[in-house]
Every structure is written in C-alpha cells, then in structure tokens.
Structure 1
C-alpha cells in the first residue's frame, strides 16, 4: 500500500490482515444509516460529503463503501487535496468483505435498509390502490399507476423520490 496518485486497491483478506496487525485504519464513507446497518468493526464513519473537511486519523487509511464507487471518489478527492498519508480503497466494497467470510458489525438502532423500505412502501401503496379501487372508487387504481411509473422512473434515471423521502423520516435518523 504505497502513496501514489494512482488509485490503490486492497483485497478484503489483505485488509483483514492489516487490521489485525493494526497497520491501517478504515474510513467508511457511506451515510450513517447505511453504516449502522453493517460495517467493519473499528471503522470510522465519515460520509463522502464530509470527507475533505473531516479530521481523519493519521497513518495509512483504507476507504470503504458498499460498491466501491463512493470510496473511489473519496480517495480521488483526498489525493487531489494532497492527503499526507497512504490511501487505499477496499476492492469490491463491503460485499467483498462479507463474501470473504469476514464479520460485519450492526448497530442496535439500525433501521431497515432503505431499499427494503422502498419495497415495503411501494408494495403497500400498490395493494392499497387495488383495494380502494375495488371497494371505494375505481379511480383509486391511479395510485397503482403512479407508484408503478415512479418505480420505472427510478430504475431508468437512478433517482428514487420515495427513497429520498424515506431517508428523511425520523426512524431513519441514526446518531452514531
């Protein structure tokens, strides 16, 4: 793990070995809600949006997120800022860590993952629309159309308004 301008990647097994030897610190760049749902024990949660302003620990750091996209962006931002210590990115993100059979710590107050909340809400709204269209008035079927169109839009655009709304709900506020 050397400090160069090129992005450095580290495998889950190598990271586990270096953590066991206390040679690196892990920075999880996901949002607090995601971090609460499962993270590498001992990692520090610094969301990507705050990475360049955060007071990061000294010494070699390994950046982690779910897929590797945000951690790669954080690594690039820190390198551009001239971060003085060696930086790496966990190859394959947290799923690679779990696939290697390594433990993930989950906080007790962790809400359901946001995508599961979206599935529950969307499914409930579709069922409600179908029930109301049969019991109250046929126009309620428009609710199922609206939810279906929203899900298609989310899939095509990558923007999910329902997920954004759910993320703002009080049960999704996690204090670390």
Structure 2
C-alpha cells in the first residue's frame, strides 16, 4: 500500500531526487504524454482514473501525479483522496519540470502525435470567436457565440478550470486506445508485484 506523502506537492528538484521510489502517473491525454513526460511515467488520463483505482491502490511507493501545469494533477489527487489513495503532485507540472532544466522523455519510433491541450483550446476558442463574428454579419444573434466564448475564457481564467479542455479531451484523438490503457495498467500492476 502506498505511504502517505510527506508533502502534497513536490517541486521538480525533490521529485528528481526521489524519482526511483515514486510511481509517476501522468494524467494528461495520450497526445500530450507522447510530446514529453517524466522518466518512467505511466499515462492514465484524468477521465480514465476511476478505471485505474484498483491498480493505483496497490502501486509501489508513493504516487506522484503529473500534468502540464499541475491543475489536472490536483484534480486527480482529489479523486484519489476521495478513494483513500494518498498521492502527491508535481509543482508546475511538466512545464515546471522542463523549465528547471529536467529532461522530458519521448517515445522512440512511430508515435501518436497530437497538439497540447492548451493549443487545442486556443484553436477551438479562436475558431468559435471568428465564426461568431463572421456569422454575426448575417444575423446579430450569432455574436452571442463570440460573447459566450469570451465569457468562458474569463471564467476559465478566474477559476483555473477549462470546460473547453474537458470537452476536447473527449475527442477520439485525445482518448487513450483501450489497448494502450490496458498495457499501462498491466505494466503498473507488474511493477507493484515486482517491488512488493
């Protein structure tokens, strides 16, 4: 059973020093994960976390949850805490890790590529605003689309949440393949058996 973390958040230096004893779980989408992740990280996207609960409960060492900035990792930590599974998060996420000069690993060979979620949100929001402005020339009611997106972006910034990112994460290119998630869970379960 995982030990209770002494710190709910680890900065990149402490995480690097403790990496061999941590089980790192990256909760970003598969496309984001292949763009660069912590060494030895397991990709279990946030929206599939419930399926992984039994494996995470038995994971070796302390769980370290990672995402791009730390927001989704904190959401994952709250989900796990609600199920009695202690975990820490990485301060600043993979951006903070890379910003401190630490290496991000990328798979070799043909990889599934996708844009980072932040880039996908910018594209979707910009497209919706431009569509609202263009269609507003035909009928003023379409301007509400642009206003709605602008309001959503303000709300997103104030609450540090993003409904558009949550929606985009459900698109097929951002979803893990069932075989990939099964392989990740099997590898995580095997590492728990080997260390246990």
TM-score bin, normalised by smaller chain: 0.5 to 0.7
Conserved 8 A contact 2:129-2:149: yes
Q: Which runs of 5+ in 2 are unaligned?
A: 181-196
Match of 2:23 in 1: 26
Match of 2:105 in 1: 105
Q: Which runs of 5+ in 1 are unaligned?
A: none
- Aligned-pair distance for 1:4? 5.4
TM-score by length of 1: 0.67
Conserved 8 A contact 2:27-2:43: yes
Q: Which of 37, 40, 44 pairs up with 2:38?
A: 40
What's the Cα RMSD here? 3.5
TM-score by length of 2: 0.62
Q: Can you list the C-alpha shifts for 1:16-69, whole angstroms capped at 9, x where unaligned?
A: 3554xxx424322414434334311221234563454215443x3350313262
Q: Distance in 1 between matches of 2:9 and 2:155?
A: 34
Q: Distance in 1 between matches of 2:160 and 2:100?
A: 29
Q: Distance in 2 between matches of 1:129 and 1:111?
A: 26
Match of 2:154 in 1: 152
Conserved 8 A contact 1:129-1:141: yes
Q: Distance in 2 between matches of 1:93 and 1:163?
A: 17
Match of 1:12 in 2: 12
Q: Can you list the C-alpha shifts for 1:75-123, whole angstroms capped at 9, x where unaligned?
A: 7568x45x8xxx7654443333212211112453142122221211111
Which has the larger Rg?
Answer: 1
Over 3 Å counting, the alpha-carbon distance change for 1:156 and 1:11 in structure 2 is closer
Conserved 8 A contact 1:71-1:89: no
Over 3 Å counting, the alpha-carbon distance change for 1:77 and 1:54 in structure 2 is farther
Match of 2:145 in 1: 143
Task: Count residues in correspondence.
Answer: 164
Q: How does 1:25-104 map to 2 (within 5 A)?
A: 25-33=22-30, 34-47=32-45, 49-50=49-50, 52-54=53-55, 56-58=58-60, 60-66=61-67, 67=70, 69-70=74-75, 73=78, 76=81, 80-81=84-85, 89-104=89-104
Does residue 126 of structure 2 align to residue 128 of structure 1?
A: no
Secondary structure, in 3 states, of the residue corresponding to 1:69? helix
